């Protein structure tokens, strides 16, 4: 997967809800679920030092 941006986003209460990411050119909202392949790949790239997730606005 080619992940070009990643930023946490919050729910209405201000709690972390997921990651807004651009993956293979498509913007998507990714849940914080290790069984989700996008989330797993984001975290793999973070662990490998290849990607940084920006804080929520």
Partner 1 sequence: MSKAAELAALIGSGQAQGDKNLIINGAMTVDQRHDGSSFTIVNGNSTTGVIADRFRVNETSGVVMTGQRVADAPVGFEYSSKLTVTTADSSLGSTEFHRMIQPIEGKNISNLNWGTSNAKTLTLTFYVKSSLTGQYYISVFNNAADRTLLKGYTISSADTWEKKTITVIGDQTGTWLTTNAAGIYLMWSLGTGSSYQSNTLDAYQAGFFMAKSDQVNLAATNGSTWQLTGVQLEVGDGPGTAFEHEDFGTTLAKCQRYFQNNGGNRTMFSSDVTSGSNYFSTLKYITAMRAAPSVTFSSNAANGFNTADPNPQQLATESFEVYKTATSTTGGGYYLFIYTIDAEL
Across-strand partners of 10? 16
Q: Site for partner 1 (CB under 8 A): which residue of 5, 7, 8, 9? A: 9
Binding of partner 1 at residue 23 (CB under 8 A)?
yes
**Total number of residues shown for the chain:** 57
**Between the CA of residue 20 and those of 16, 28, what are the distances in Å?**
11, 6
CB-wise, 28 or 52, nearer to partner 1? 28
Of residues 25, 28, 21, the one with CA closest to residue 42: 21
| Closest to partner 1 by CB, 2 or 55 | 2
Residues that bind partner 1 (CB under 8 A): 1-2, 9, 11-12, 17-18, 23-31, 33, 35-39
């Amino acid at each position: 997967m080619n992940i070009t941006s990643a930023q946490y986003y919050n729910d209405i209460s201000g709690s972390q809800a997921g990651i807004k990411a651009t993956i293979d050119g498509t913007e998507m909202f990714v849940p914080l679920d290790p069984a989700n392949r996008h989330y797993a790949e984001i975290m793999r790239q973070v662990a490998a030092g290849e990607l940084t997730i920006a804080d929520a606005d």
